[in-house]
Chains A and B, each alone.
Chain A
């Protein structure tokens, strides 16, 4: 029986072309929900092999090259194929290297961000993120060298140099920090951006940091790394400074003031914050970062590399933390206290998290009955965020039925598989067609995702949670927990859904 069923599955699901998966599936047979394999119909359907195969082809929205990146969670088997390049033409939701670098560096408030290249890269990225500043608003601008055809042929170095010169002459206050992003074209035409930056540094005695971020040179994660290198380069000349007691916050971009919230928590337990990287960062505080006693890394995906470099270069040790959800926030605050090794801080930390937990638990309790039993789909950038969201949903009684990431790692998928129910679909680098198919099939009530995914969810009549860089309310820390459940509730229980004819 099992053997027969297995045969059917292989031919029905994969049109017989993907025998490689046969072994992987053998363990899964019993656990796989038949309706997924048989095109949304129940296993009771007694149709011929041919009919089934035909229906699958007709219905399926999955490219054969993508099959291995999709898994129906079984808790066993080989897991999702991930950490690969996107399949051409599959309409990936991923972004580019420049995007990754820009995301990390953009929140530095008093820096000039010069995008060296044709206009597109700058025009897509000015003032689109919710990073907040307590001072300069400079970072909300994009400065572009706006390369034209002639520049592509003869090179854009002169234009870049002229741009920097002009800033130095005309801008007040005079720039003290400039980032120059080298985009795709600059990477191809071979402008010596380093030389121009060096010349500018020497001429004006300011910091001009090149950021080598041509889109083709990797993924968004590559961009994070490049940004981290740029930051290290920025800090290196200030390595010789006396140590002071205090931490740097890495990987929080102060979206909707989240960094401020975390910094307040730390101050409340007696931990001074030296530099914030890069949420609400400014040149003067950034260069003090090497003097800190400890780095705490919030967005591990973008900033672990920087933390490692800072440990190697400046001897600042680091620990990773997360401030999404009660559990993570509590653990992180206590961990920071422990890492600092000061029992008075640990005592204060315990007191603080107890108070805050007592405050937010009733809020969660209030919302839970409205959310229990709902079905969520998650499609976010990194694996850790997906895991964190899945756990938060579980706390609320929400079942995650589809979960995917743009750039999740193998181990992260394994944990997702562990957290998931047997029917959950797990996807790596999913495209809209797959999201569409599985959200419908799994009857998702809400999607958590980025801005691009939002209209798709809406067209399918599915609620949406904006867990992305455009959010205008904090989702981190204890303060964010309330915002999170509020947002889920207001979308998932919105009356508009009752007017949609979904069946």
Chain B
């Protein structure tokens, strides 16, 4: 009888533990899911605005430089803003996450910023107004070592040059 009681208590504690762990894991997953699609960052907490409704950055998948639908929307907004402000020039700063070799990441950052540049140009922005600068993995915005942090760091940021 006593043994049964001990067993029952242990089991209860065990179950409680399991429930808690499940909860914690679930919460983290949904959190990340809300801010990432595939492994592209879709959140907003690092984004700054060049003007009202004009986000300054676009995000990329691991090892990729393809613009997502959301990125193209952001860049169209930037192109509109640049057309309205013809005296403003910009620097496109391309970045990579920390999970790649330094030299390759420098090239990858350049490729990402150029993907953004090409898109701005197809929306009528002259290449004279755009400078590309790659930082590779040298200037992360999020210093964490986790998939969400890395997704925020794989980016091209449009910065006013003047």
- Are chains A and B native binding partners rather than an unrelated pairing? no
